[in-house]
Each structure stands twice: as structure tokens, then as C-alpha cells.
């Protein structure tokens, strides 16, 4: 049977967009202070999960909610299960938006909202691909299970819980990256050096805070410093303004007697591509480190300044490159120092290729900055490198669909980002961004091109059918 996939998507463009707009209105940021038994990651992720599952119920699919952790929308029968993995949670919106991040706006043929490209837009495109197959009554020989998660941007506890209750698909993909395909992902681990929160110099660091998530480059940083005199405080402020101008970043400094309150603005980016961002925290630390701090505060600023502009772990002694998977990257994503309170830390999030790992990272960091820290916390739950060979029928089929619908040659790609595709031994990420796209994931003014949204839906419909028929 020949299906005109483009025509089928064209007939559903308005409905697809309407559904996406309503989904994007749900503020699905994880909120740990609002977690309940009914909302394991806070009310937002739960509400977005329920909203997505309601589309499946409306459209006559078999739908299952697994205790508000995750759920699935299912079609077809067969011994094998084809899994499609999307997620409804989003990273915090942060500052710098031109519009309300949870009031979707369409302009210049793009839809702007948090989650538009990561991952509600791509998920909706894939869902409509499945919806087309169902509405046409196309025969399939496998069970197709669209798995909907709600904690992908944080701990993946949604999938831990889901797979304690549901069987693992045999193969599949996550519409959560880019075309032609992502068949390899670097390992992902966080390492957090801890510091004493003491002072000892003529300047005192009261607070230093930056970052929203380990997988986001900190866009904003604030710090409060007490100078030894009013004159020194005024001089500190003047020096800061000169530093901002020289460095090409913006910020403010406010005086209150001997207390100076600093703010510096950088640029957020996905933690898997720290080179695309401007780390506000390391810029401010580099400035403050030139002054007479002491104790744990001095150690803290020394390390934060030491890693300034280092996105490949070179200054930490952990740089590594693999011929196939490329370079290790490092994002210093979270900073917190409060004088007199335990728990001062910096979080390093590493995306590492095959050939290195937890032990090498811990050893290198200890050798490099061990003299400044009290302890080194290494994330015990982490993901190793993942790769599905290009010869695998899953990869070959998806590349063939991409080539047929774009006229462009497909090729394998390996990224630092982590997607649900790595949950499966034969799992990949497939779209929905096209080569040359502007990456706004985890940034202010996130958007997705409507042309790309609909084009992805065409590719997903054909791909799902070829894999399941």
C-alpha cells in the first residue's frame, strides 16, 4: 500500500498545532518542593504527562498511566515492541525571554515557548505520525508503544519506575535530538567538589550562587561580598565595571556601606554543548579571585576561576578525545557558597566518550584541585557511552526514510546530549531538528520552526510504519 505521508500531515497541520499549543501552555518544570505521592516530580510534569495521555485517549489508543511517573500510548499487536520515547518535562525557563515562555507565540513561522523544541514539539510530531497510521488502519506486525516520560531533564527516575512495571521495548527511537540520526551518545556523569564555607581574608564572600540545572550553562550569577572599608567597596565596584567592559559581558554592582552585591549575565546553553554558552559564574569568579579572600572562600573562587573558559576539561586534567565519539566536554552548571553553611560546591557535568570514565575523571580532578576541596562527590548513578552500529537494521531503515523524504545523504552522528534512546540496547535518537538548525534548547526564546515540525511528522509517520509493518 502506497501512502502519501505529506498529504496526510497537511490535512492535520491545524490539529497538530492546536494540540501542541495547549501542551506548551503547561509549565512542566520539575519542582522538588511541591513533590507529592500524586505528583512525583511536582505538579507541572504530572499535568503535562496527563495532558499528553489525554490525546491518546481522545484518539482511541490504548493508554496507560503508570502512577503519574510515566505512561504510554499504544497501537497494534505483535511479539515485538517498537518504542518511541518522548518527554513532557522541561528545564526551567530562566530569564531573558522576549515573550512569556508558557504562552506560545507564533511569529516568523516559528513557535516560541519552553519545550517547543525540547521535547514537546518533536513528541507531538511523532505522535501525529502514529495517529496517521492508526486513522488509516494500516496493518502492523509489532506493538507500537509511545512512551511518555516526565523526568528526562533531571534524574530519569520516571523511566526507572516505569520499567519496574512495564516491559522494555525491543528497539526504538526518541524524537529528541536531530536528523539524520543520533546513533551514539557520550557518557554522562556529574562530579561535585565540596568546599569549606569559611572566610579569612580582608574581603569576605557571603554568598555566590549560579545555575538552574547541571545540564544548563549558568546564564546568571549573584554574589555578595563584604569589603574591609567603604572606600574599598567603592573601589571594588569601579574595578568590576572596568572588568565587565573589558570582558564583553554585562552586570551590575550595588553598594550598601561596605557590602557589594554583584550580578553578571552570561548566556545559557545546553550542558552538552557548553562551548555555545557564556558561563556567568566563572566570569564573576575570575574577577573576584584577584582580591584578598581567604579560607574556604578563597579555595572556592580559585577553583571557579581556574575552570574559566575550559569546556573540555583541560585545566582539570581530564581532557580526552576518541576518534569516533569526539572530545569530552565539561559544563560547570551549579554553584553555591553560603558563608557559615555546610554544602558549598560546584557541579561539573561531563559528557565523555568511550575510553575514559568515572575513575579517570575522579583521579584527574583530585590531582588538579584536590588541595582546595574537602571532598569530591561523584554521581553514582550515571550513564556510560552508548552506540548502535550504522549497519543495524534500525539505523539503516531510519536513514533510508530520512534520505527519501529530504533528498539528502544520511550519516551517523554521536552527541554529548543524553536521550531516552539510550534506554534500549537498540535505541537511537531520530530528529526532530534538521541539519543547520538554530539550537535554542535550554535557552531563552526557545523555538521550533513550523516547517520543520510538519516535515518531521511526515518522516516519523513513514519511519514508524516501516519499522512496524
The residues that are catalytic are 89, 152
Name residue, grid cell 575523571. Answer: 361
Coil, helix or strand for 11? coil
In sequence order, the 6+-apart residues with CB closer than 8 A to the CB of 420 are 85, 86, 87, 147, 149, 152, 159, 174, 176, 427
Strand 171-174, strand 81-87: pairing: parallel
Of the candidates 58, 71, 226, the one whose C-alpha atom is nearest the C-alpha of residue 145 is 71
H, E, C per residue of 81-115 = EEEEEEECCECCCCCCCCCCCCCCEEECCEEECCC
Evaluated on CA atoms 444, 449, 453, 456, the torsion sign reads negative
Query: Taking the CA of residue 43 as centre, how many other CA atoms within 13 Å lie in the half-sphere pointing to its CB?
Result: 4
Please say whether the beta carbons of 185 and 62 come within 8 A: no
Please say whether the beta carbons of 202 and 114 come within 8 A: no
Query: Taking the CA of residue 158 as centre, how many other CA atoms within 13 Å lie in the half-sphere pointing to its CB?
Result: 29
Strand 204-210, strand 220-226: pairing: antiparallel
Of the candidates 218, 311, 268, the one whose C-alpha atom is nearest the C-alpha of residue 446 is 268
Q: What angle do CA 431, 432, 434 make, to 5 degrees?
A: 85
Strand 432-433, strand 177-178: pairing: parallel
Coil, helix or strand for 387? strand
Amino acid at each position: 500500500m502506497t501512502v502519501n505521508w505529506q498529504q496526510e500531515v497537511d490535512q492535520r497541520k491545524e490539529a497538530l498545532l492546536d494540540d501542541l499549543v495547549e501542551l506548551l501552555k503547561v509549565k512542566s518544570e520539575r519542582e522538588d518542593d511541591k513533590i507529592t505521592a500524586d505528583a512525583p516530580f511536582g505538579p507541572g510534569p504530572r499535568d503535562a504527562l496527563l495532558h499528553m495521555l489525554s490525546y491518546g485517549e481522545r484518539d482511541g489508543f490504548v493508554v496507560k498511566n503508570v502512577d503519574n511517573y510515566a505512561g504510554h500510548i499504544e497501537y497494534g499487536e505483535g511479539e515485538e515492541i517498537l518504542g518511541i520515547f518522548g518527554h513532557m518535562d522541561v528545564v526551567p525557563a530562566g530569564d531573558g525571554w522576549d515573550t512569556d515562555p508558557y504562552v506560545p507565540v507564533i511569529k516568523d513561522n516559528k513557535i516560541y515557548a519552553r519545550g517547543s523544541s525540547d521535547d514537546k514539539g518533536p513528541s507531538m510530531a511523532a505522535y501525529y505520525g502514529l495517529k496517521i497510521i492508526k486513522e488509516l488502519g494500516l496493518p502492523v506486525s509489532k506493538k507500537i508503544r509511545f512512551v511518555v516520560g516526565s523526568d528526562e531533564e533531571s534524574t530519569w527516575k520516571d523511566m526507572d519506575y516505569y520499567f519496574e512495571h512495564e516491559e522494555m521495548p525491543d528497539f526504538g527511537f526518541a524524537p529528541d535530538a536531530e536528523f539524520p540520526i543520533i546513533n551514539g551518545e557520550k557518557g554522562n556523569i556529574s562530579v561535585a567538589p565540596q568546599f569549606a564555607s569559611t572566610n579569612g581574608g580582608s574581603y569576605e564572600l557571603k554568598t555566590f550562587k549560579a545555575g538552574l540545572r547541571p545540564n544548563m550553562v549558568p546564564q546568571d550569577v549573584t554574589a555578595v561580598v563584604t569589603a574591609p572599608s567603604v572606600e574599598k567597596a567603592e573601589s571594588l565596584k569601579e574595578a568590576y565595571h572596568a572588568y565587565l567592559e573589558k570582558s564583553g559581558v554585562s552586570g551590575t554592582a550595588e553598594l550598601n556601606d561596605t557590602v557589594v552585591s554583584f550580578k553578571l549575565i552570561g548566556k545559557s546553553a545546553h550542558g552538552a554543548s557548553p562551548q555555545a554558552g557564556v558561563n556567568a559564574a566563572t566570569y564573576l569568579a575570575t574577577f573576584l579571585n584577584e582580591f584578598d579572600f581567604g579560607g574556604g572562600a578563597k579555595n572556592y573562587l580559585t577553583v571557579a576561576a581556574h575552570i574559566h573558559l575550559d569546556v573540555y576539561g583541560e585545566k582539570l586534567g581530564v581532557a580526552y578525545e576518541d576518534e569516533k565519539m569526539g572530545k569530552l566536554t565539561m559544563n560547570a552548571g551549579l554553584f553555591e557558597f553560603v558563608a557559615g553553611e555546610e554544602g558549598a560546591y560546584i557541579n561539573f557535568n561531563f559528557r565523555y566518550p568511550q575510553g575514559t570514565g568515572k575513575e579517570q575523571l575522579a583521579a584527574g580532578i583530585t590531582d588538579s584541585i584536590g588541595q582546595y576541596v574537602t571532598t569530591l562527590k561523584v554521581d553514582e548513578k550515571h550513564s556510560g557511552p552508548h552506540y548502535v552500529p550504522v549497519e543495524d537494521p534500525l539505523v539503516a531503515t531510519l536513514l533510508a526514510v530520512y534520505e527519501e523524504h529530504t533528498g539528502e545523504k544520511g550519516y551517523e552522528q554521536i552527541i554529548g546530549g543524553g536521550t531516552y534512546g539510550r534506554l534500549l540496547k537498540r535505541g537511537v535518537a531520530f530528529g526532530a531538528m534538521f541539519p543547520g538548525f538554530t539550537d535554542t534548547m535550554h535557552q531563552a526564546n526557545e523555538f521550533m520552526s513550523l516547517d520543520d515540525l510538519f516535515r518531521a511528522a511526515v518522516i516519523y509517520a513513514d519511519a514508524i510504519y516501516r519499522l512496524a509493518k
